[in-house]
Amino acid sequence: MSATQPAPDFSAPATSGQTLGLRDFRGRFLVLYFYPKDSTPGCTQEGQDFRDLHPEFQAANADILGVSRDGLKSHANFKCKQAFPFELLSDSDEALCQAFDVIRLKNMYGKQVRGIERSTFLIDPEGRIAFEWRKLSVKGHAAAVLAKLRELSA
């Protein structure tokens, strides 16, 4: 995927009980971040960083969605415990992960396992990928996404 190409269309169940898709965010920027697993240290920190900057993302005409393969019950608990003001999407069938090409073989305890490569996509109001981050480090990431959003909005 490259910048300015159309983002893959998607539709997935959200913690709100709704099914959300790309079309629901037309006219606004969308931060779509993929993370490996609910309630793990890195994923919790990443979500907290997006949570803490949420008012600034909203002021910049952007919505945030988190995506992992966890089910809605796990997502609901994670969202509630961390007071996330944004929706989490359940991608248990990996359709969204496949569309954005974020599934990778990873080494875990000496074994190769398939998992989500932590990635974020900034989608513009017309539904095009404006910027993407792959193999990212959690520290400072949410702030970097906000900085890129502000740059593109200027």
**Catalytic (active-site) positions:** 43
The CA distance from 127 to 12, in Å, is: 16
